[in-house]
Amino acid sequence: MRRQLALLVLATTSLVVLAFLLPLAALIRTGAVSTALDTASAQAQALVPIVGVGSPAEIHAAVNLLGGSAADRVTVYLPGVAPIGDPVPQDSAVALAAAQARALSYPTPQGHVLLQPVLGRAGGAAVIRVLVPGSAMTAGVTRAWMVLGLLGLALLLLAIGLADRLARSMVRPIADLARTAELLETGDLTARTVPAGPREIHEVGVALNRLAARITELLHAEREAVADLSHRLRTPATALRLDAESLRTPDERARLVADVDDLTRTVDALIREARRPVREGVGARTDARAVVAERAAYWSALAEEQHRPAATRLPEAPVVVRVPPEDLAALVDALLGNVFAHTEEGVGYRVALRALPEGGALLEIADSGAGLPGLDVTSRGVSTGGSTGLGLDIARRTAVASGGWLRTTTDGGAVVQVRLGPPDG
């Protein structure tokens, strides 16, 4: 934008400068010619009195009094006398001026000639010839043109400087607005811009700050509402636990207590998730190898109970990804939970994690079941297996939030691949 403004001002100023300097340059040239001709005419008029009544010797002395190069350019023609001054032969123009008693002027290869007739002498009219050389008609013109050129260049440079300063005053606030918008897009709701620049850009900055503040307020209110709702679930969960503990059969009591404990942990995790600051997920750094290993070990106990072959392949070195540990654990649980929920007992599965050369990791969870017929992972809450359909959507949103993606394929069974993005910085 700065460049475009500078070019626009340069083009506009150039037209204005040319429209001003070209006529002025022509006027200077015309003025120099007019000054030279007026000077020559004054010299001729100064000689008229002496030429009208003086002798050739007096006229010659008067011509010499003009001094310098001026005397060398003056010729006086007297009837019957040789030319006095510059010995230029008399031509037809001189004869015409004497005969008509009329002043004449005409150009020649040497310059411009002025002819001034003088009446009153015996034998006919005398004629004063003054040559104005071309150098006299251009004296000072080149220097004046150079001064005008430098003035025009200075005006152009000044205009470009002012345009660049004006452009910076406009571009800098816009760039600041763009940086603030990018920070907001990454989840940093504390980002604010300093309103500056012209009135319209200043108003945009104020509106952006108000929008960020409003988003923060709405998100905070939403999280508080979810946290309050989650907190209310603790009361029925506690009552359910008391009912479970009152059962007399030890096996049933232990199973129900375990289910209630799992429900309580889920509610607590939901409350922590709702209370967690938004900014936490932006700069998260989690060792995916450790989290995946821990969750795979957790589900392996159930897999062993259901006689499911389970394989886990993990890299030897830690793999850091841009996902909070709670979110990554929930992602693995959701995908493995789908395996147990939608395949029969005895169906095996595998969990594989590998680091990517460009950073981040690729998590793959596959089973040897019937696959995922007709499943659309982009649709939230859609399922063909009698569940809520939120498991894959939770995993997909977690992957996208990290800068990655989720894909599903079928290779003798269901295969879910999750690309987890690398951490910032």
Which pLDDT tens digit goes with each residue over 320-371? 999 988 889 989 998 998 898 888 989 999 999 999 999 999 999 999 887 7
pLDDT at 411: 75
What band does 269 get if pLDDT is binned at 50, 70 and 90? Answer: low
Closest-CA residue to 13 (of 145, 123, 185, 161): 161
Final residue of a structural domain among 86, 112, 139: 139
Residue 189 forms part of a structural domain: yes
Distance CA 128, CA 76 (A): 5
Closest-CA residue to 11 (of 209, 160, 135): 160
User: What is the extent of the structural domain holding 158?
Assistant: 144-230
Q: What percent of the chain has pLDDT over 90?
A: 29
- Write out the DSSP string of 374-395: T--TTSTT--SSSS-S-HHHHH
39: CB partners within 8 A, 6+ apart: 132, 136
- Write out the DSSP string of 268-333: HHHHHHHHS-GGGGTS--EEHHHHHHHHHHHHHHHHHHTT--EEEE--SS--EESS-HHHHHHHHH
Do residues 35 and 122 share a domain? yes
Which pLDDT tens digit goes with each residue over 303-334? 998 999 999 999 999 999 999 888 899 899 98
Do residues 288 and 416 share a domain? yes
* Cβ–Cβ < 8 Å for 387, 341: yes
Do residues 53 and 83 share a domain? yes
Mean pLDDT score across all residues of the chain: 83
Mean pLDDT confidence for 190-218 = 88
What band does 220 get if pLDDT is binned at 50, 70 and 90? Answer: confident
Do residues 125 and 150 share a domain? no
Mean pLDDT confidence for 366-389 = 56
- Which amino acid, 313? R
* 405 vs 254, more confident: 405
Do residues 237 and 226 share a domain? no
Do residues 297 and 412 share a domain? yes
Is the C-alpha dihedral spanning 197, 202, 206, 209 positive or negative?
Answer: negative
What band does 379 get if pLDDT is binned at 50, 70 and 90? Answer: very low
- Whether the pTM exceeds 0.75: the reply is no
* Cβ–Cβ < 8 Å for 131, 122: no
Per-residue pLDDT at 280 exceeds 60: no
Distance CA 28, CA 23 (A): 9
Lowest mean pLDDT among 180-189, 338-347, 398-407: 180-189
Final residue of a structural domain among 205, 230, 255: 230
CATH code for position 117:
3.30.450.160
Give the chain's domain count.
4
279, burial (CB in 10 Å: exposed 0-12, middle 13-18, buried 19+): middle
Which pLDDT tens digit goes with each residue over 20-37? 888 999 999 999 989 988
What band does 209 get if pLDDT is binned at 50, 70 and 90? Answer: very high
* 246 vs 400, more confident: 400
Residue 425 forms part of a structural domain: no
